[in-house]
């Protein structure tokens, strides 16, 4: 069984916090820990920011987000139809930024990789970029529930 | 939601209060406030206060690094305070504590 959620927003930096909140709300049905949700929020924030400031150069455009849940596995796709990336491997190197003129750290992809289980980037120069973030939420929640239930019994 | 940033002079420090979410949307305003405050107050000791901050991503790190370049040019120092566990984790991962130590004030 597969559950999905799709969202389209304008390329506008005010939508970054909106998107990460919506994605977190969608995945919260899996009962993730606060930390797991924060990890997803940070990674999504990085990808949406990149679509807006790099893909569309802070100009107009559409960013699409598609979330999928299969069992305990989640995937979040962030797509833009902007300038695209010529050298994905180089773009993903820690501290690399294509815009040293802006106040960038070049840590966006590193954060995505640190916080997610998988990061997949497909890009074509002149056509756009698709970033697919994968994360499995292990069933720690069940363990906590059991612990809480048995603690309740003892009281 | 508090998105405004503000600053205040406390003793020998200039303290910059960061908004609840430090991201690409709020960073331009933080940069603006920080530059204005450096111009008016001098830049000996700048403190970024994260007490209200619950979210930060790499945009915040980029903003801090840009401030570091400006402040070190004037031989000033930057300190960080009030970080919650999550913000602290992001700061640690970026390695920024080596140039901007945490202080408790
Ligand atoms: N959606 C995108 N469209 C075009 N270029 C991108 C996109 N995402 C990332 N990039 C390129 O990859 C580089 C590295 O991205 P990142 O690690 O997030 O660092 P930063 O955003 O701080 O530059 C960017 O500077 C940009 O050149
Ligand atoms: Mg980035």
Subunit contact A105:B23, Cβ cutoff 8 A: no
For residue A127, what pLDDT is reported?
98
The DSSP code sequence of A81-110 is -SS--S-HHHHTSTT--S-TTSS--S-HHH
| C-alpha to C-alpha distance for B41 and B29, rounded to whole angstroms | 18
Q: Which fold has domain B6-98?
A: Transcription Regulator spoIIAA (3.30.750)
Give chain A's domains with CATH numbers. 3-154 (3.30.565.10)
Å from CA of A91 to ligand 2 middle? 10
Query: For B91-105, what is each residue's pLDDT tens digit?
Result: 999 999 999 999 998
Q: How far is C-alpha A142 from the geometric centre of its chain's CA atoms?
A: 25
- What gap in Å lies between CA B81 and CA B90, rounded to an integer? 14
Confidence category of residue B41, pLDDT binned at 50, 70, 90: confident
Counting residues of chain B whose pLDDT is more than 70, the rounded percentage is: 96
- How many angstroms is it from A70 CA to the middle of ligand 1? 29
pLDDT score for A50: 98
Hey, which of A83, A98, A105 would you mutate to test ligand 1's pocket, going by the most ligand atoms within 8 Å of its Cβ? A98
Ligand closest to CA A97: 1
Distance from CA of A154 to the nearest CA of B (A): 32
Residue A129 in contact with ligand 1 by CB distance below 6 A: yes
Mean of the per-residue pLDDT values for chain A?
Answer: 93
pLDDT value at residue A154: 57
Answer yes or no: is the C-beta of A90 below 6 A from any ligand 1 atom.
no
CA distance B14 to A14: 28
Confidence band, pLDDT 50/70/90 cuts, at residue A140: low
pLDDT surpasses 90 at A78: yes
User: Do strands A73-80 and A128-136 pair parallel, antiparallel, or not at all (unpaired)?
Assistant: antiparallel
Ligand 1 in reach of A74 Cβ (< 6 A): no
Query: In this predicted model, what pLDDT tens digit does every residue of A79-91 receive, in sequence order?
Result: 999 999 999 999 9
pLDDT tens string A40-69: 999 999 999 999 999 999 999 999 999 999
Hey, is the C-beta of B33 within 8 angstroms of any chain A C-beta? no
Distance from the Cα of residue A75 to its chain's centroid: 9
Check pLDDT > 70 for residue B26: yes
Check pocket membership of A85 for ligand 1, CB cut-off 6 A: yes
Q: Smallest CA–CA separation between A46 and chain B, in Å?
A: 7
């Amino acid at each position: 069984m597969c559950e999905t959620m799709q969202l389209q927003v304008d390329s506008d930096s005010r939508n970054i916090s909106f998107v990460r909140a919506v994605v977190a709300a969608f995945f919260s049905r899996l009962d993730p820990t606060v930390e797991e949700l924060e990890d997803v929020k940070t990674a999504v924030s990085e990808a949406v920011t990149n679509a807006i400031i790099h893909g569309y150069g802070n100009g107009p455009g559409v960013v699409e987000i598609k979330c999928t849940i299969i069992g305990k596995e989640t995937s979040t796709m962030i797509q833009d139809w902007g300038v695209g990336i010529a050298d994905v491997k180089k773009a993903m190197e820690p501290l690399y930024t294509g815009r040293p003129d802006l106040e960038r750290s070049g840590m966006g992809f590193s954060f995505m990789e640190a916080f997610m289980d998988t990061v997949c980037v497909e890009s074509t120069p002149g056509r756009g970029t698709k970033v697919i973030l994968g994360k499995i939420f292990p069933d720690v929640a069940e363990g906590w529930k059991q612990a809480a239930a048995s603690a309740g019994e003892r009281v | 939601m508090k998105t405004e940033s503000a600053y205040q002079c406390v003793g020998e420090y200039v303290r910059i209060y960061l908004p609840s979410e430090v991201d690409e949307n709020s960073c331009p305003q933080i940069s603006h406030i920080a530059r204005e405050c450096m111009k008016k107050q001098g830049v000996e000791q700048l403190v970024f206060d994260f007490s209200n901050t619950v979210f930060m991503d790499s945009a915040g790190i980029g903003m801090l690094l840009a401030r570091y370049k400006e402040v070190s040019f004037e031989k000033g120092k930057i300190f960080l305070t009030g970080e919650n566990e999550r913000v602290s984790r992001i700061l640690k991962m970026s390695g920024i504590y080596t140039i901007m130590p945490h202080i408790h004030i």
